[in-house]
Structure 1
Amino acid sequence: MKKINIGNGEISASEISLGCMRMANLSNKEASFLINTALEEGINFFDHADIYGGGKSEEIFAKAIDMNASIREKLILQTKCGIREGYFDFSKEHILESVDGSLKRLQTDYVDVLLLHRPDTLMEPEEVAEAFDVLYSSGKVKSFGVSNQNPMQIELLKKYVNQKIAINQLQLSITNTGMIDSGINVNMKVDNGIDRDGSILEYCRLNDITIQAWSPFQFGFFEGVFLDNDKFPELNKKIDKIAEIKGVSNTAIAIAWILRHPAKIQPIVGTTNSNRLRDICKASDVTLTRQEWYEIYRSAGNKLP
């Protein structure tokens, strides 16, 4: 598994991360097998959130891996906070309480990364800055980031916080390419030319913010996977053809397509199937040509200007 430098380079992480949202659905034995499969494949970065399984996903993870100091040193743990039932909450009180809850459930003294989970329009950045200072100075959080935020939201946060924003977790898959489309269709009077996120792809590259791609196999907003889906015949035909040439699965090609981008995007894969995870990890050994990348992009229904 290849490594990437996260944000300011203080974290060297596997270029593919295991998302633990569905871990609450697994038994301890199943979760243990999945986590150890990830480690065997070279994955050392694990993505959590306080809301995943109502906190149970973090609990299952820690129990399944039999968390201790020796094991903890091998892991890069990321968690998120800010989503509550029916609203978002970036208050200092909630951030601090959420982190303490995650630390307890994960059976650790610190997390490597904390992300603010989706934007809170009622955010008071001064409060966020105070919370970050407390968490950083106490050693409970080593690095910070955001999720689903645009450049101006990040700039507002950066005006107040003392720590670098190292990560922005955004939806990206072959069928959800808004951040790429607008950069290709500049000055074009077409739907794909609409910049809906403030050139977030280029902004993150300019500011050394690592983009993490969530739901890399999904189309729409959790409408299903595009692989082996009759709604995307041309896309699957192209992916399957390239997968056969490369000698890997279609899942590996879908991830290799994201990894091919020079922004060094880190996909968050949420599979709970260990065999599928092994197949996905082969993406780290696959390099798509520029032509193959654009062929896949176009087969998803995108037209080049």
Structure 2
Amino acid sequence: MGLGGAWDASGYGPELVDRAWEAVEAALAIGITRFDHADIYSRGKGESVFGELLASDSTLRGRIHLQSKVGIRLGENGGFGHYDLSAQSIHDGVHGSLRRLRTDYLDVLLLHRPDPLLDPAEVGAAVGRLLEEGSIRAIGVSNMSAAQMDALQDHLPVPLVADQLELSLARHDFADTTVLVNHADGAGTSFPHGTLEHCARRGIEVQAWSPLAGGRYSGRTTAESPDADRATAALVAELAASKGTEPEAIVLGWLLRHPGRISPVIGSANPRRIAACADAEAVGAAMTREEWYALYQTARGKRVP
């Protein structure tokens, strides 16, 4: 999201392209080869800046996996922002992304937000045409529940491959839906119960957006932060020091420890923060159950029932 600068109609200069190169090189250096975009990021400039990189290095496209998202309209010319998963919107969104990214295809297309006016048959036909013409190679969704995915899957020519959801130590309600079954507090949990289980059963990858929670546990906590945030940041720092790693690796490792095989979408364009995530997989694999629960309960501000 951060590669294109301001979310306005301004252009971009070579300094943004240079910063994008620094971010991409930092990612490649720690083994990250998948890059997530959306047609709305910086009002298209995020994709355009990345397209500059692809145009300047003919080998880059073959070394990476690209996905982008369509379906959100920001409200052009003073109109209302809205969601649009009509066939025309999907088609136009994909081809706009391809032009800006300067590539012939997306490895994965994600439908960005559930649209109440979505016609599953219309979406299925639109996806089928994009697959046939080679503009996309796979289809996934973002921010959808199990029920929404099932209703859509009935009309798709291929299986859904991913669901991108907000998951993090800060947005831990995906864990709350598990521990608060048959508990009165469960009524206040917004995460759609059963979604991770559905993805596991269907082989749908769970992608976590904002997995670092904006850095609130890895450097952005202040004296004015909530008590739970400050306590969690202190615990993250303690664990990082004891394991000889960075706080970002602990925060991501907590997600990776979950059996749902969550793939964090780091989101940062800061090379230092990207590099700090290098140990996340190893940290997640080695994290004990007690450490996982200590982080979870500290972040939620109270013990499990």
Aligned partners of 2:69, 2:52: CA distance in 1, in Å?
20
Q: Residue by residue, what CA displacement relative to the aligned partner does 1:48-84 show, whole Å, maximum 9, x if unpaired?
A: 0000011110110121343555321111000000000
Once the two structures are TM-superposed, the CA of residue 284 in structure 1 deviates from its matched residue by: 2.4
Once the two structures are TM-superposed, the CA of residue 254 in structure 1 deviates from its matched residue by: 0.4
Moved more, 255-264 or 189-198: 189-198
Q: Which runs of 5+ in 1 are unaligned?
A: 1-20
Give matches, 1:57-206, under 5 Å: 57-66=46-55, 69-85=58-74, 86-191=81-186, 194=189, 196-206=191-201
Q: Residue by residue, what CA displacement relative to the aligned partner does 1:206-226 show, whole Å, maximum 9, x if unpaired?
A: 11111111111227xxxx734
Aligned partners of 1:194, 1:271: CA distance in 2, in Å?
28
TM-score normalised to structure 1 length: 0.88
Aligned partners of 1:57, 1:32: CA distance in 2, in Å?
12
Aligned partners of 2:191, 2:292: CA distance in 1, in Å?
23
CA contact 2:17–2:53 (8 Å) conserved in 1 = yes
Alpha carbons of structure 1 residues 195 and 37: separation in structure 2 relative to 1, 3 Å = closer
Q: Residue by residue, what CA displacement relative to the aligned partner does 1:29-54 show, whole Å, maximum 9, x if unpaired?
A: 11111111111111000000000011
CA contact 1:50–1:80 (8 Å) conserved in 2 = yes
Greater RCO, 1 or 2 (C-alpha within 8 Å, sep 6+): 1
Q: Which runs of 5+ in 2 are unaligned?
A: 6-14, 75-80
Aligned partners of 1:252, 1:262: CA distance in 2, in Å?
17
Q: Residue by residue, what CA displacement relative to the aligned partner does 1:113-170 show, whole Å, maximum 9, x if unpaired?
A: 0000010000011111111111111111011100000111111101111111110000
Alpha carbons of structure 1 residues 48 and 134: separation in structure 2 relative to 1, 3 Å = same
C-alpha RMSD of the superposition = 1.7
Give matches, 1:206-217, under 5 Å: 206-217=201-212
TM-score normalised to structure 2 length: 0.88
Once the two structures are TM-superposed, the CA of residue 281 in structure 1 deviates from its matched residue by: 2.0
Once the two structures are TM-superposed, the CA of residue 262 in structure 1 deviates from its matched residue by: 1.3
Aligned partners of 1:91, 1:173: CA distance in 2, in Å?
31
Q: Residue by residue, what CA displacement relative to the aligned partner does 1:241-262 show, whole Å, maximum 9, x if unpaired?
A: 1101111111111011111111
Query: Structure 1 counterpart of 2:291, which letter?
Result: E
Residue 244 in structure 1 maps to residue 259 in structure 2: no
Identity rate of aligned residues, in percent? 37
Cross-structure match for 1:16: none
Q: Residue by residue, what CA displacement relative to the aligned partner does 1:68-122 show, whole Å, maximum 9, x if unpaired?
A: 5532111100000000021100000110111111011111110000000010000
Going by fraction, where is strand more abundant, 1 or 2? 1
